[in-house]
Structure 1
Amino acid sequence: MSRYQQLRVFCYDVSDDRRRRRVAKLLEEEAVRVQYSVFEARMSDRASARLAASIEAVLAESDSLRVYTIGRSGETKCDVRGAGVPIETSTGFWMM
C-alpha cells in the first residue's frame, strides 16, 4: 500500500432507484461493497476526491454522500462482527 493511500468509507443515501444504481455502479468500479449503501476502498486523496465528484454529479439535492477517511490508528480500532466483509488489508498476494 502506498503511504499516500488511506482507507476511505463511502456512504450514500439516494432516494431514486435510477440514481442509486448509477452511484452504486461508480463505487463498484473502485471500491468494495460492505453493506447495501456502504463501500470501502484504499485510495489517495486525489482518487477519493475524483470519485466523490463523479458521484456528486449524479446526486439530486435531497441525496447525500459521506466520505470518511480512516488512518492507520483508526483502522486498528475498527471491529467487524457477524457476516461483514473484513477490512481490506494492505497485504499483497499472488495469483497464479
Structure 2
Amino acid sequence: MRLWVIVYDVADDRRRRRLAGVLGRRAERVQESVFEAWLSGTELHALLAEVAAVIEPAADAVRAYPLALRDRSRRETLGDQPPAPRPAAYWIG
C-alpha cells in the first residue's frame, strides 16, 4: 500500500463533477483538483479504470503520483487541510 496523489485538469463541468465523485469515493480531497489516497496497486488500477470511463482523453488529463512516504512526520503541511488517513489494517488480495 502506497500513498498516491491524484491530480486532474478536466475541461467540462459535468465530467469534472463525475470525476470528483469517482475519486471522492476512494480518496481524500486535499485541493479542488487534488486527491490523496492510500492504495494498493490493484486498487489504483481499479480506480484508474473508473476514471478512464469518465474522462475524455483528448480534452482531459489525470495523473497519479506515488509518494515514497512511510512516515507522516516526514510530510510538510501548511494550512488546516487534514492528510489522507492511512488505513489501520488492510487485506492483500
State the TM-score bracket (shorter-chain normalisation).
0.7 to 0.9
| Equivalent residue, structure 1, for 2:81 | 84
How far the C-alpha of 1:87 sits from its partner, in A, is: 4.5
Q: CA deviation at 1:83?
A: 2.5
Name the CA shift for 1:62/1:50 in 2 (closer, same or farther; >3 Å). Answer: same
1:1-96 aligned at under 5 Å gives the runs 5-60=1-56, 61-72=58-69, 77-89=74-86
What CA distance in whole angstroms lies between the structure 1 residues aligned with 2:84 and 2:5?
10
In the alignment, the residues of structure 1 paired with residue 31 and residue 37 of structure 2 have an alpha-carbon distance, to the nearest angstrom, of 13
> Structure 2 length normalisation: TM-score?
0.81
Which stretches in structure 1 are left out of the alignment for 5+ residues?
none
With over 3 angstroms needed to count, the CA separation of the structure-2 counterparts of 1:74 and 1:9, relative to structure 1, is farther
What's the TM-score, normalizing by structure 1? Answer: 0.79
Structure 2: state its 5+ residue gaps. Answer: none
Aligned residues: CA RMSD: 2.0
Q: Which moved more, 1:52-61 or 1:23-32?
A: 52-61
The structure-2 alpha-carbon separation of the partners of 1:16 and 1:8, relative to structure 1 and needing over 3 Å to count, comes to: same
Match of 1:22, SS state, is helix
Which structure shows the higher helix fraction? 2
